Structure 1
Amino acid sequence: MLKNYLKIAFRNILKSRVHATINITGLAVGLASVLLIGLFIIDELSYDQFHEDADDIYRIAWWSDDPQTRTPHPMAQGLVAEFPQVESAVSLSPLWGPGLTKQRFSIRNIEKDITFDETELLAVDSTFFEVFSFNLIKGNKDKVLRSVEGVVISESMAKKYFGDEDPIGKELSINFDDLRVTVEGIFQDIPVNSHFHFDILISYVANKAMREPGDKFFTWADFGHFNYIRLKAGSDPQLLQNQLMSWAEKFVDVSPEEWKNAKEAGDHFELQRITDIHLKSNIRWELEPNSNIEYIYIMLAAAILILVIACINFMNLATSLSVMRSKEIGIRKSLGAFKNQLTFQFLGESFLIATLAMIFAGLIAEVGLPIFNSITGKTLVISYISQPILLVILVGSTLISGLIAGLYPSLFLSNLNAAVSLKGVEKINPKGSLLRKSLMVFQFAISMILIVGSIVIYNQLQFVNSKDLGFDSEKVVVVPLKNYALYSKFQEMKAEMLRIPNVESVSGSSNIPGQQFNQNAVSLANDPNMLVNASEVLVEHDFFKTLGIEFLEGQNFNKDYNKDTSVFIINETAAKQLNLTNGVGSELIWHWDNNGAQPLRGTLIGIVKDFHFNSLHQPVRPLIFNRFPGYNSFIIKTKVGDIRETVASIEEVWKQFEDRFGFEYTVLSQDLSQLYSSENKTATVFSGFSAIAIFIACFGLFGMASLSYSQRKKEVGIRKILGASTSALLKVLLHDFSRLIFIAILVAIPTAWWVMTSWLENFRYHININWFDFVIAAASLILVALITIGHLTFRTTKGNPVDVLKD
C-alpha cells in the first residue's frame, strides 16, 4: 500500500512539474529563511548563557531618568556581608583615561622585546572567577588577582606575546616600565556571545596602588564600577532589589532630603539578570554596545510570515490541483477505498513535497550562510549535531508546512461523494475558491506590510544618517592621544599639524561625539541644592571652531589657558535645566571627579546650541565644557580633498613627537554611523527576507494564475470567437487577481502603520510615516504582481481559439 502511495505521489509530481517546482522551490526558500533566522535568534538569545547557573547572576544598575550601569565599588562585597542570599560578588572596571574613555596601554614582553598597544584591560576583584564561569585554563582561580604584580591574560594574548612558551611566571611591562607585572593565569578566549570582552585582567589591588591618596574612586561617593552578584539558588531577586535603597541609604553620602527626593522620583537600584543584558539593556555606560529585543521580535515575525506565505502557496496549489483529481477519488471510493486511506494518501503526498523542500532548504541555507554572516557581522555555523535545535526548527517547520498544506485537500477530497465526484468537481466545490482567495489576500497583505516596513526602516536610517547633528562630522579625523606625557607638547604638535596644507583646524578633547561621556552634578552657586546631572568634556579652546558648534551667547575659551582655569561653557539644555536667569556671567559649581578634590567654582562664559553628542535614540542632555587639561584625542578638521594623503601627513607629524605608541585614526562621520550598526544590519536582513517573502508570494501567484488560466482556455477561446479584443480579455483575466491584491493592500495599511509607528518609538528623533510610503508600497506590489503574471496573461489571450475548442 505504501509503495503504491509513493508511486502515485511521484507520478503526480511529474505530471504537474511546473506546479510541483513552484511548491518545492517556494517552500524550500521559505524553510531556508526560517533556518537562517532561527540560527540568528538562537545566537542572540545565547548571550552569557555559558556561565554556570547564569540565571542567578545579576548586574546592579542605577535606575533614574538617565539610568546607568555603574554603581559604587563597596556595594558588591557589602551585599555578600549583609545579605545571606548573595553567594558572591565582584566589582570590575575598564582602566579609564581622561573623560572616562578606555585607556590605551603599550605592553611589552621584556625578554623578546615584543610590544603591542592594548585597550581591553579590566581591573577586577579577586572574586572574579567565583561569579563568572570564564574558563581559567592555567593558574589557580583562588590565588590569582590578589597581588599588585599579578595579571591573568587570554590565550590569544599568551600566543601573541610568548608564542609556544609557557607564560606562567613570566614578566610583562606596561607603558614602558611604568608597571611590571607577572602572568599568574591564562583564561580561554572570551566567547563571542558574552556582553563584555577583555584580554587582560589586573587586580584592583594594582589599580588602587596607581591612585593618589584620598581618591574617592573606591568609595561609596563614586558610582563608577560595574558590580555583579551571584545569588544562591532559589533566591528571589525582586525581594533583594526592594531592600537595596533602604540599605544603601546608610552608606551613600547625600542628604536625607536628596535621598527622599530620589525615592519619590522612582530612582532605585535595579538587578539585571546577566542573560538579559545583551537584548534588554541599552543604558549609559554599557561595557559594549548591545542589541535590542525588538529586533529579535522583528526577525521572528519575518520568519513566521515567510513560512506562512510559503504554506499558503503550498495549500492553494495543492487544493487547486486536487480539483483535477476528483474522478480519481470517485474511482477509488467505488473500488472500496476508505476515507482514512484517502486522507493518509493526500497527507503523505503533501509531506513528500515538504520533505523534498526541506532537503533543498538545507542546501540553500548552507550556500546563503556566508552572505548572511557578512550582513549580520556574525560567524554563524550550521551544525545539526552541536545545535540540535536547528534540526528541530527545520523538521518542525517541514512537518507543520506539510500538515497545513495537505490537511484541507485531504479532508475535502476524502469526503466527496463517489457518484458526484465522477460527474466533475465543479458542481461540488463552491467554498474552495473562497478559501483560496482569502488566503491569497492574506498572503499579499503580509507582502504589503513587509514592503512598507522596509521603506519606513530605510527612511528612518536615512534620516539618522543625514540629520543635522548640530556639529560638523564630515572630513573630521580623530587621532587617539595615547601618551599623556604629550600634554606639554600639545600646542607644538597642533602648530605642526596646522602647517599641513589640507588641515583647516586642530583641537583636542577628552570625549568624542558618539562615545561615552562622564557625568557629574552642576549647580548654580546661589542655589547649590538645585543639582543638574551634566555630561562633561574637557576641551582645547579651538574645539567649537573645529566641529562647527555655534554659540547662542557669550564667548569661547581664551587661547591662554591660565585665563580659563575657572570658567565654563554649557549647552542650552543645561541652561534650561539650571533655570538660568542671568545667563552668561552666572557662577556655577561643578562637582567634578579629580582625586577627591573639592567642587570647582567658576564663571559661565558661554552657551552653545544643543548638538547631538549621543545617538538619536537619546534626547540631548545637559553638557558642560571646561579647559582642564585631559585630552584623549586630537580632532582635526580637513579641507576638501583626499583624506588619505592628509592622514599620511598627520602621521608624519605624530611620529616626530611620539616614538613609543603606534599611530591610529578614525573618521568621525564613520564612527557616528556605527551608532546605528545594529539598525543597519537589521534593516538589510529584514529587507532581504521581505524580498524573499514577496518572491515566494509572486511565485505562488504565478502558479495560481497558470492553473486558473489553463482552466479558462475554453472561455477565452469562446470570447475571442465572439469578437472580444485582446484588451478586453486582459481585463477579464486580470480582474480577479487585481481585485484580491487591492483588497490585500487595504487590509495591510492599518496594520503596517501600527507596527512601524511602534518601531519608530525606539528613536527619540524619528520621521513621521508618510502616506506616500503606502502609495510606493502599493504601486510596488501591484507592479511586481503584474510582472509576475503579465506574460502568462498576454500569452493566454493570444492563443488560437480553434486549438483550444477542438480539444
Structure 2
Amino acid sequence: MKINPPQRALQFLRWFCREDYLEEIEGDLTEIFEKQHEISPHQAKWKFSWSVIKYFRPEFMKSFKSYQPNAYGMYKSYFIIAWRSLLKSKAHTLIKISGLALGIASVFLMATYIQHELDYDRYYDHYENLYRITWENENPQTRTPHPMALAMVSDFPEVESAVSLSPLWGPGLTRRTFSVRNLEKDLRFDEKEILAVDTNFFDVFRFPVVRGDGKKALKNVNGMLISESTARKYFGSDDPIGKHLAVNADDALLEVMAVFKDVPPQSHFHFDILVSYVREKSLNPQSEYYTWADFGHFNYVRLKPGADPKALEGKLLPWVRKYINVSDEYFRKATANNFGFRVQPLTDIHLKSKLRWELEPNGNIEYVYIMSAAALLTLVIACINFMNLMTAKSVDRAKEIGIRKTLGALRRQLSFQFLGEAFLVTVIALAIAVLLIEAALPFYNSLTGHSFVFSYKGTLPILIALSCVVTLLAGVYPSFYLSAIQPHSVLKGKVLIGNKGYRLRSVLIVFQFVISMALISGTAIIFNQLNYIQHKDLGFDKEEVLVIPIKNRAINKRIQTLKTELLTIDGVVAVSASSNLPGSQYNQNSISLVETPEFEMDCSEAFVDYDLLKTMNIELGEGRFFLPENLTDTTAAFVINETAARQLNAASVVGKELNWYLDHNDNPIKGPVIGVMKDFHFQSIHHAVQPLIFILYPAYNHLVIKLDPNDFENKIAQIKAVYLKFDESYDFEFAFLDQQLDQQYKSEQRAGLAFGLFAFIAVTIACFGLFGIAMLSFKQRTKEISIRKVMGAPTFQLIILLLSDFTKLIFIAIVIAVPAAWWVMNNWLNNFTYNVGVHPGVFILSGFALILISWITLGYFTLRTSRINPTEVLRSE
C-alpha cells in the first residue's frame, strides 16, 4: 500500500522550490517520510511538514520577481489582442455588447422595482419587532378594538409598547375630507391624511420629530402635530410651533406643538396631521367607538427583542374573554375554525396582506415574484447569448489558440485570456447600460408610478457587482471551451465546431427560446386578464357616472332640493346619493331572519336614497326598491342582494322580517325585506360578491350623477355652480366612477405593462443571439450551399434547409415551454376570483409569433446565403 506524505505540505514545496532542486529534495523527504511512517505515522507527517518549512529559504526558492515583467507583457498582449478581436468582428461584437447592455439595464431596472417593494416599512427603528394585530374569521379584517393596545402592554410582558390609531374620518372608514384653515394668513386646504392616535404613538413608531415635543403634543387635548410639508404649506418659512389651525371636524382651533418628518413613500399608511385620542374621547366620552365592543381601530405592538409572535398569537383569543363577552359556543366555533387574533409582521403588510379595511391599497408579492423571475430569465438569456457567440467563434480563433499553445501557453493562461476578454465586453456593455438606464428612467417611472433616481454613488457598485456576475456566468464556459482546442488539430486544419460544442449550443438556444415562449405566452395571458378586468360586466353602469364627495354633512338635510336643482341641468339623466360607492370599503354588521336567528352572518351595508338603482342601472330581481310614497321605508325596510338572500337559507326572503344588528348591538333593528337586487360587484373582482344590504337613511358621503355622453365640460361647470350654492366651505371635487374603479387594478396594469416591456426586451436579446449564431453558422456552410447549388438545388429548397435546423430547435422549445407556462400562469390567475382561464389558443398564437420572429431574424442571412455565387466560393477552396 502506497503511503503519501501530507498533500498541503507537498503542494507548498512544489510551489516555492526551484525546478533544479525540487526532484532531489522531494525524493529525499518522501523516502525519509516512508521510513518514519512505519514507526509513527503522526510524527512522520509532522516531521515532513517541518522539513518543508526549513527548506523555505532564499537559496531554494524560485525567483518570483523575474516573472512579473513577462506577466505584465502577457496581460498587455491579452488586452491588445482582445481589443483587436472585437474590432475585427464588428457585427459580432455589436451583437454581444448590445445583448449584454440591454440585459444589464433591464435587470437593474427590474431589481430597482423589486427592492422598492421589499423595502416597505423598513425605515422604522427595529422594524423587525413591529407587528399589527388583526382579526381573522369568515371575513378577516385589519381592525380590532381600541382598548386592546394598552391592555396588551399591561397583560403581556413580551409587549414592550403598543398603540391604537384610526383615520379621523372615524367609524366605517368612509373617507372624509376636512377643511383645515390658517386664519391669520387666510389659507385653507382640504386634508384627508389625518390620524387620531394614542399618546404613546412615538414609542411604537419612532418618527423623527424635528421641532417641538411630539409626546407632549399628544397629551394635550388641543394639541396637534403636522408634517414638514404641511408646515410649509400653511406657514411657509415661519416657525409653526405655537401657531393655530382650525379643523372643521368641530371647528376648534388646535395648537401646532410639534413637526415631524414626512412619512416616506414606502409606508403602508401615510398621514400629514396627528391629533390625540385624548381630544377625540373628550368630544364623545360615551361613544362605543372607543370601547371593546367596536372593532374599528388599528392596533400595533412593539415586541421585546427575542419575543415569539406566534406564542403571543396563541394567547390572544382566550385572553380577550377577560374584556369581551364571548360565549362558550362562539369560543368553541372560533377554536374549531381557527378564528382569532393574528400577530402580523409590519413588513408583511404591503405585499402579503389581503384583509378588509386596509389603510391604503397594498402591493402584491406575486408581482415581485413575477418580476424577479423576469429579471433572472433576462440575465440568463443575455449570458447564454454571450456563451453561444463566444464558442461559435472558435473556428475564427483557432489559429491564434494553436500558435499560443505551440509557443508554450498553458490552458489556464488561455482561459484567463478569454475570461478577461469577456470582462472587457461586459465593462463596455456596462457603460452603455448606464446610459440606457438614465435615458429610460423617466419612462420607467411613469410606467411604474414611482420616482426612482439613478445615483452613481449608490448604484455603480451594484452594477459593477452585476457585471462581475455576468462575466463569470457568461465567460467561464467559453474560456474553458476555447482553451481546450488542441494545436495539432489546428495544424492539420481539422478544427471544427465539434459535436459536443454544437450540442451544448443547441441546448442553450432551446433554453433561450423556452424562456422566450414562456414570456410571450405569459404576457399574453396577463394582458387578457387585465382586459377582462377592465371590461367585465360589473352589474351596474360605470360609464358617464359622475361622483361628487359630500364633504359637508349638513347637505344631507337638503339632499332632495339639491337633486331637484341638478336635474334641471340639460344632460343630467339621474341623481342619487349613497354612503358608499362600488370599489370603496363598506362597513359591516350582522343580519339574520327573525324566524331563524341562528343563521346570523356578516353583511356589508350602505345607506342610500330612492334613486340609486335607477342612477346606476342596478337590476332588481325580486320585490321592490324604496319608494317616497311608502313612509314605512324610512323607518325600517331593507333591500338585500342575491348572495345575502341565498345565505339566509330561505326559499324567498321578500316580505320576511330581518334582524339588523347595527354596531353589533344585542337589540337588533327589525324590518321587512322589501326587495332583492341582482348581484353586482361592489368590491374589486379579486373577491367574490359578498352579502350586501341597502338601508334608506340620509347618511350620505357621495353624490352620484348619471350624465349623457356629450359635452362633459359644460355639464360639470353647471353642476359645480349648483353645488357651490349649497356648500362653499369646501373645494368642489369630482371624479368619474369608471376612473375610480380602474384605480383598484392600477398595480396589476402597471406590473403587466412592465412585465410586457421586459418580456419584449428578453425576446429581443434572444433574437440578437439567434442572429449572431446564424451569421456564423451560415458563413461556415457557404461551401456546402455552393456545392448544392452546383448540383441544381433551387433557392427555395436551400432556404428550407438553412431554416430547418433552427426551426426544429424552436419547436422543441415550444413543446417544453407550454406545460411550464401553463402551470405558472394558471397559479397566477387563481389569485383572481374571476379570471379568463388559460386558453390553448394563447399558446398556439404565441408559438406562431415566436416562429415568425425567429424567421424574420434569420431571414437576411438565409436569403443572402442561398443566393451566393458558388463559382466565387469554390474557386477560393
TM range (shorter): over 0.9
Q: Distance in 2 between matches of 1:320 and 1:718?
A: 23
Q: Does 1:193 align with 2:260?
A: no
8 Å CA contact retained: 1:98, 1:630: no
- Alpha carbons 2:391, 2:482 under 8 Å: kept: no
Q: Output the CA distance in 2 between the equivalents of 1:339 and 1:100.
A: 71
Deviations 1:355-390 (A, max 9, x none): 1111111111111111110000000112243x4xx4
The corresponding residue for 2:650 is 580
Flag structure 2 segments of 5+ consecutive residues without an equivalent: 1-73
Match of 2:95 among 22, 30, 35: 22
Alignment match, 2:85 = 12
Q: In the alignment, what sits opposite 1:250?
A: 322
**2:797 aligned to 723, 728, 731, which one?**
728
Cross-structure match for 1:361: 433
Between the aligned partners of 1:546 and 1:427, the Cα distance in structure 2 is 77
| Among candidates 572, 579, 591, match of residue 661 of structure 2 | 591
In the TM superposition, what is the alpha-carbon distance from 1:562 to its structure 2 partner?
4.3
Matched, 1:802 2:871: yes
Map of 2:390 onto structure 1 = 318
SS state at 2:216 partner: coil
Mapping 1:231-630, distance limit 5 Å: 231-385=303-457, 387=458, 390-426=459-495, 429-560=498-629, 562-564=631-633, 565-593=635-663, 598-630=667-699
Counterparts of 1:561 and 1:149, CA distance in 2: 47
Aligned amino acid, residue 306 of structure 1 = T
CA shift in 2, pair 1:207/1:243, >3 Å: same
Structure 2 CA distance for aligned equivalents of residues 310 and 399 of structure 1 = 14
Residue 560 of structure 1: CA displacement?
4.9
Q: Which residue of 1 aligns with 2:156?
A: 83
**Structure 1 counterpart of 2:407, one-letter code:** L
Partners of 1:628 and 1:593 lie apart in 2 by 16
The residue matched to 2:592 in structure 1 has which SS?
strand
2:722 matched residue in structure 1:
653
* Counterparts of 1:535 and 1:687, CA distance in 2: 37
Shift of 1:528: 2.5
Moved more, 553-562 or 164-173: 553-562
Distance 1:187 1:39 in 2: 28
Distance 1:178 1:14 in 2: 76
Partner of 1:777: 846
Task: Determine helix, strand or coil for the equivalent of 1:144.
Answer: helix
Per mean C-alpha deviation after superposition, the further-off stretch among 338-347 and 217-226 is: 338-347
Which one of 158, 173, 179 corresponds to residue 100 of structure 1?
Answer: 173
Q: Distance in 2 between matches of 1:696 and 1:600?
A: 66
Counterparts of 1:295 and 1:381 in 2: how far apart (Å)?
A: 21
Structure 1 residue 98 displacement after superposition: 7.5
Matches within 5 A, 1:133-212: 133-175=206-248, 178-211=251-284
CA displacement at 1:593 relative to structure 2: 3.1
Residues 113-169 of structure 1 deviation map (CA, whole Å, 9 limit, x = unaligned)? 111111111110011111002221112133121122111011111111111111111
**C-alpha contact 1:99 1:632 (8 A) present in aligned 2:** no
Alpha-carbon distance in structure 2 between the residues aligned to 1:136 and 1:151: 13
1:99·1:538 contact (CA, 8 Å) conserved in 2? no
Whether 1:61 aligns to 2:134 is yes
**DSSP-derived class of the 2:436 partner:** helix
Compute the displacement of 1:426 (Å). 3.9
Q: Against the structure 1 CA distance between its residues 433 and 582, is the aligned structure 2 distance closer, same or farther, given a 3 Å change threshold?
A: closer
Question: Contact conserved, 2:164 with 2:297, CA < 8 A, in 1?
Answer: yes
Q: Deviations over 1:434-470 (max 9, x none)?
A: 1001100110110000000110001001111111111
**Structure 1 residues 461 and 757: CA distance shift in structure 2, 3 A:** same
Moved more, 783-792 or 2-11: 783-792
Q: How far apart in 2 are the matches of 1:569 and 1:426? A: 84
Gaps of 5+ in 1: none
Deviation, 1:420, is 1.9
Deviations 1:763-783 (CA, angstroms, capped at 9, x unpaired)? 011012111101110111111
For normalisation by structure 2, the TM-score amounts to 0.90
**Aligned with 1:682 (options 747, 751, 755):** 751
Q: 1:597 to 1:641 in 2, by over 3 A?
A: farther
SS at match of 1:687: helix
Tell me if the contact between 1:107 and 1:176 (Cα under 8 Å) persists in the aligned partners.
no
**In structure 2, how many angstroms separate the alpha carbons of the residues matched to 1:65 and 1:292?**
22
What's the CA shift for 1:659?
1.3
TM-superposed CA distance for 1:647, in Å, is 1.4
Check conservation: 2:562, 2:726, Cα contact below 8 A. yes
Moved more, 543-552 or 320-329: 320-329
**How much does 1:332 deviate?**
1.3
Task: Identify which of 42, 64, 73 aligns with 2:146.
Answer: 73
Say whether residues 1:754 and 2:823 are aligned partners: yes
Contact 2:214-2:257 within 8 A present in 1 as well: no
CA distance in structure 1 between the partners assigned to 2:669 and 2:208 by the alignment: 45
User: Which protein shows a greater Rg?
Assistant: 2
Alpha-carbon distance in 2 for matches of 1:206, 1:715: 90
Instruction: Give the match's secondary structure for 2:217.
Output: coil
Q: Give the CA deviation at 1:561.
A: 7.7
Does the 8 A contact of 1:331 with 1:422 survive in 2? Answer: no
Alpha-carbon distance, 1:105 to partner: 0.8
Percent pairwise identity:
51
Select which of 760, 779, 782 maps to 1:710.
Answer: 779
The one-letter code of the counterpart of 2:744 is L
Partner of 2:49: none
Q: Would the alpha carbon gap of residues 100 and 141 (structure 1) be closer, same or farther in structure 2, given more than 3 Å must change? A: closer
For 2:782, the aligned partner's letter is K
Match of residue 52 from structure 2: none
Q: Distance in 2 between matches of 1:525 and 1:354?
A: 75
Indicate whether 1:635 and 2:704 are aligned: yes
Measured in 1, the distance between the counterparts of 2:690 and 2:480 equals: 63
How far did residue 423 of structure 1 move? 2.0
**What is the 5 A alignment of 1:24-43?**
24-43=97-116
Given that 1:734 and 1:793 are in contact with CA atoms closer than 8 Å, whether structure 2 keeps it comes out as yes
Contact 1:322 1:409 in 2 (8 A): no
Q: Aligned residues, how many?
A: 802
1:485 Cα deviation after fit: 0.7
Query: Which residue identity lines up with residue 624 of structure 2 in the other structure?
Result: Q
Structure 2 residue aligned with 1:222: 294
Q: Is the 8 A contact 2:551 2:730 kept in 1?
A: yes
Answer whether contact 1:98 1:510 (CA < 8 A) is retained: no
CA distance in 2, matches of 1:250, 1:427: 83
Q: What's the offset of the Cα at 1:658?
A: 1.2
